[in-house]
Structure 1
Amino acid sequence: MGWLVDRWTDEDAAEISSGSLRRRDGHWVALVRVKGVGPDGQAAWRQLTHDTGLVAEEATRKKAEEACRRWRDAIIVRATLVRAERMADEHTAELLRPRGVSERLTMGFDDYAKHWLEVKKSVRGVAPATLRSYSVNIRLLARHMPDKPMAAITTEDIEGVLAAIFDEGYSTTTAKKCMNVAIAIFRRAVLVDGLQRSPCEGVATPTQAPPRQNALGEDGWRRLLDELSGMRQTPAVCAGRLALLMGVTREEICALTWRDWDLAEERGELRIDCAIALGESGYERRGPKTSARVRSIPLTDAARDAGEARRREAEAEWKAAGCGRPGPDDYMVGHPGGTWLVPSTLSTAWSTLSHANGWKGEKGLALTLHDLRHTFATRLVAAGADVKSTSRIMGHSTPSTTLKVYVSEDEEAKRKAMDGVERRLEGRNATAADQDAKLVGALARAIRSAMENG
């Protein structure tokens, strides 16, 4: 505390008058006047009083004077400590603010995080839904972050915030998202504003819980397709068939027009290049959030049947609404008149249909539209598709996403694989499937050889 002795001056000492005694309500009351600063910034005196508790008689005056001195000394000590603490805070802030470092590091986490979010908003390409997610994570982090400048936040503080988030009952997924936002915020503080070290370094990021896998097995997949094909082809039924047969998302289904479908029937493949997504002013039709989402999916006979069945139903809906026939720019699962269906509305319609029919996946949970997408990916791999092709059809940026998130274990496929191993161990004759596998392997080797030889 040597720095405090060097900086302390007479002006820093509290200016307090000598104490005096007054009789009030039969007791000795001590009075002192303290000099401070008024609302106008000018010096102002204010009077403090203290009841000594002694009866106002001459016999007790000396005791009352002693009580007054002790009370005045306590006021001086308290005022001195307050001034010293204020000077210590200023000194700490000065130490934490090296030369050439941004003044923003003196902000609290909440204010700096809001600044970071404004920077994110100014960057083109960040989806409004992503920004809203960031805002929610920041509010959760700020609620538990200590009231310190950014430069003073420690690794222990970050660990305490994570513990508090878990104590509130939030999931591992939420905690991981919050941690990722905190890492990004402090990374900017390091790279842009000169923070010496991110307090997130050394903090173990929570392991995200595995995604829910509620896909259907092959028998369940076939049964559901049969049930859906026999129903009235409402938007929800059509969406379910397309998700099961092509793996498209609800946002992509909502964006499909009859022009898109007609071109798909001509080319033999459906091009996915837009989706209905939530923007700053509501839902809008725009390109997918990643380039991998722009893709072409081969059209199967079952998918063609689903599209044509929906066309017949849509013509009936348009006619009943007095809108004529669906035009090329009308939406396959949209409203008569040409407006699209909001993705959340489509999910609600499917959920109602799923619960009404008691449809459940392998985990015993009600089937969602996204579970149908999981099912399609699983069936695609079980049918022998390589992971790279499956990844492209699903619109994933990397094959690992396909394997980790979208492909469920398939008991029947595992049994077939093990039966194949057993046949080879026992030296049985190759089946037709084995012959096909050999031909495919030979063809792959020939292609690889041709590529290597130019």
Structure 2
Amino acid sequence: MSREKGTGSVFYSTQRNQWVACAANGFSPSGGRKYKRMYCKTEAEAKKKLREFLREKDCGGSQAQSTLSVQDYMNQWLETVKRRTMKPSGYDRLESTCIKQVYPHIGDIQMHGVTSTDIQEMLNDLSCKYSQSVLKKTYDAINSCMRYAVNSNIIDRNPVNGVVVPKSSRESKEISILSDEEVELLKRECVKPFSRGKRGGYRLGYLCILLLNTGMRVGELSALEWSDVNFKGRSIRISKNASVIKNRDGDSDRTYVNVIYDNPKTKCSNRTIPINNAAMDALIHIKEITGNCKYVAANQDGDFLKPEAISNTFRTIQKNCGFKKQYGIHALRHTFATSLFRKNVDIKTVSTILGHSSTAITYNIYVHIIESLKVEALSLIDDV
């Protein structure tokens, strides 16, 4: 009967007329695998010696791991466990959470010495500086790592057990939306014709109008192909997402690279968006420029336009509009959603169009808008 890989083997040696217990035992200086062989009179004795050896080996490895600092162990966990199970963009965010939030507080403590108090104090301190979302990400990162350490017999118990995520003392940041006046200024500026060699105008200014009327994420627009656009059915299929990730291959001098994933941000991000008249007009104008390319938002070489390039165009348009406040590209998505709420579109429909995984997420993001619209509605009702 064969044994599980990594647990050694027991066999009878006719050459020595003895039972042999054999197990891997590290590597030689040249990199070859070394083996421990124990010779016994009986099969039962060989099996017993093998169990004892493996137990001692595991114990010694666990003890060595438990003396690693939290930072060293988490780096090892990130590289050997998480990197192979996560999308690169998600892995980048997790690594950033460890480096920026976890390591400065408890990174120097040895794994066997970290306590629930250490972790609670870390989160309490972070609650004064960061949002609730950052606190939750930090808690999830350290909890996942410590659970793995327990299952690997590195530590006896998870020190995150009993730790409470405190409420952030930072006020929740309200979303940014363009005013009606700013929307009109933006639309007039976006459609200015582009002429090579002359100042003014934009090659793909209509992309901002498309975002304003569909609520797409900028990464979804970057990855959008003309085959995803159904002009006859007046719909857009969202099934991909472009993202900027760290270059970990070392095959170039670039710190970050742009990639397209065949699946967008979440499962619910796979969706179909209806095309309104403004979006249709924008797509028609864009097709005149990039219609022969694979991508809707194509650069002059025919490749997909990077998300930051679209954001830069939006930034330039705002500057030329004379906006007093500079908005991030996501403000176009928020403005679109707010417009739907103002037109009394129900939250389930809005959530589906935006690609949120639940209506709770939609409500939490737009709670200030929803509540203010309720107040406006009540003010229109005469006293009973």
TM over 0.5, shorter chain: yes
- Give yes or no for the alignment of 1:120 onto 2:82: yes
- Partners of 1:393 and 1:333 in 2: CA distance: 20
Partner of 2:282: 306
- Give yes or no for the alignment of 1:268 onto 2:268: no
Partner of 1:334: 298
- Partners of 1:280 and 1:412 in 2: CA distance: 40
- Partners of 1:411 and 1:353 in 2: CA distance: 31
1:358 and 1:366 in contact (8 A); partners too: no
After TM superposition, give the deviation of residue 243 of structure 1 in Å. 1.7
After TM superposition, give the deviation of residue 195 of structure 1 in Å. 3.6
1:276 and 1:343 in contact (8 A); partners too: yes
After TM superposition, give the deviation of residue 102 of structure 1 in Å. 4.0
After TM superposition, give the deviation of residue 333 of structure 1 in Å. 2.3
1:374 and 1:407 in contact (8 A); partners too: no
TM-score relative to the length of structure 2: 0.69
After TM superposition, give the deviation of residue 387 of structure 1 in Å. 1.1
After TM superposition, give the deviation of residue 122 of structure 1 in Å. 1.8
After TM superposition, give the deviation of residue 376 of structure 1 in Å. 0.8
Partner SS state of residue 205, structure 2 = helix
1:102 and 1:193 in contact (8 A); partners too: yes
TM-score relative to the length of structure 1: 0.59
1:189 and 1:195 in contact (8 A); partners too: yes
Partner of 1:214: 176
- Partners of 2:176 and 2:370 in 1: CA distance: 12
Partner SS state of residue 182, structure 1 = helix
Partner of 1:239: 207
- Give yes or no for the alignment of 1:257 onto 2:225: yes
- 1:86-137 alpha-carbon deviations (Å, 9 max, x no partner): xxxxxxxxxxxx97994433332122212221201121xx121221222222
Paired amino acid for 1:241: I
User: Out of 161, 184, 203, which is 1:223 matched to?
Assistant: 184
Partner SS state of residue 409, structure 1 = helix
User: Out of 370, 373, 380, which is 1:413 matched to?
Assistant: 373
- Give yes or no for the alignment of 1:391 onto 2:351: yes
Paired amino acid for 2:275: L
Partner of 2:260: 285
Partner of 2:310: 346
Structure 1: gaps spanning 5 or more residues:
1-97, 316-325, 427-454
Paired amino acid for 1:375: T
After TM superposition, give the deviation of residue 370 of structure 1 in Å. 0.3
2:216 and 2:333 in contact (8 A); partners too: yes
Q: How does 1:15-414 map to 2 (within 5 A)?
A: 102-103=62-63, 104-118=65-79, 119-123=81-85, 126-140=86-100, 141-145=102-106, 147-162=108-123, 174-193=134-153, 195-208=155-168, 209=170, 210-217=172-179, 219-220=180-181, 222-224=183-185, 226-228=187-189, 230-232=191-193, 234=202, 237-261=205-229, 264-279=230-245, 281=247, 282-286=257-261, 287-312=263-288, 314=289, 326-327=291-292, 329=294, 331-359=295-323, 365-406=325-366, 408-409=368-369, 413-414=373-374
- Partners of 2:117 and 2:372 in 1: CA distance: 49
Partner SS state of residue 393, structure 1 = helix
2:71 and 2:108 in contact (8 A); partners too: no
Paired amino acid for 2:84: S
Of structures 1 and 2, the larger Rg is shown by 1
1:251 and 1:275 in contact (8 A); partners too: yes
- 1:321-344 alpha-carbon deviations (Å, 9 max, x no partner): xxxxx4152x22221231111111
After TM superposition, give the deviation of residue 175 of structure 1 in Å. 4.7
- Partners of 1:249 and 1:407 in 2: CA distance: 20
After TM superposition, give the deviation of residue 148 of structure 1 in Å. 3.9
- Alignment size in residue pairs: 305
Gap change, CA 1:402 and 1:165, over 3 Å in 2: closer
- 1:9-33 alpha-carbon deviations (Å, 9 max, x no partner): xxxxxxxxxxxxxxxxxxxxxxxxx
After TM superposition, give the deviation of residue 205 of structure 1 in Å. 1.7
Gap change, CA 1:100 and 1:212, over 3 Å in 2: farther
Taking only aligned residues, the RMSD between alpha carbons, in angstroms, comes to 3.1
Gap change, CA 1:354 and 1:236, over 3 Å in 2: farther
Gap change, CA 1:170 and 1:396, over 3 Å in 2: closer
- 1:282-328 alpha-carbon deviations (Å, 9 max, x no partner): 2122221311111001111111111112233x26xxxxxxxxxx415
Structure 2: gaps spanning 5 or more residues:
1-57, 194-200, 248-256
- Partners of 1:374 and 1:149 in 2: CA distance: 45
2:190 and 2:208 in contact (8 A); partners too: no
1:238 and 1:333 in contact (8 A); partners too: no
Gap change, CA 1:193 and 1:388, over 3 Å in 2: farther
Partner SS state of residue 236, structure 2 = strand
Gap change, CA 1:185 and 1:235, over 3 Å in 2: farther
Partner SS state of residue 285, structure 1 = strand
Partner SS state of residue 122, structure 1 = coil
After TM superposition, give the deviation of residue 176 of structure 1 in Å. 4.4
Partner SS state of residue 267, structure 1 = coil
Paired amino acid for 1:142: Y
Paired amino acid for 1:253: L
Gap change, CA 1:295 and 1:171, over 3 Å in 2: closer
1:137 and 1:178 in contact (8 A); partners too: yes
Partner SS state of residue 242, structure 2 = strand
After TM superposition, give the deviation of residue 225 of structure 1 in Å. 5.6
Gap change, CA 1:352 and 1:152, over 3 Å in 2: same
Gap change, CA 1:412 and 1:153, over 3 Å in 2: closer
Gap change, CA 1:227 and 1:270, over 3 Å in 2: same
After TM superposition, give the deviation of residue 407 of structure 1 in Å. 5.7
- 1:217-244 alpha-carbon deviations (Å, 9 max, x no partner): 4x34652464246433736622321221
2:187 and 2:209 in contact (8 A); partners too: no
After TM superposition, give the deviation of residue 146 of structure 1 in Å. 6.3
- Partners of 1:351 and 1:222 in 2: CA distance: 14
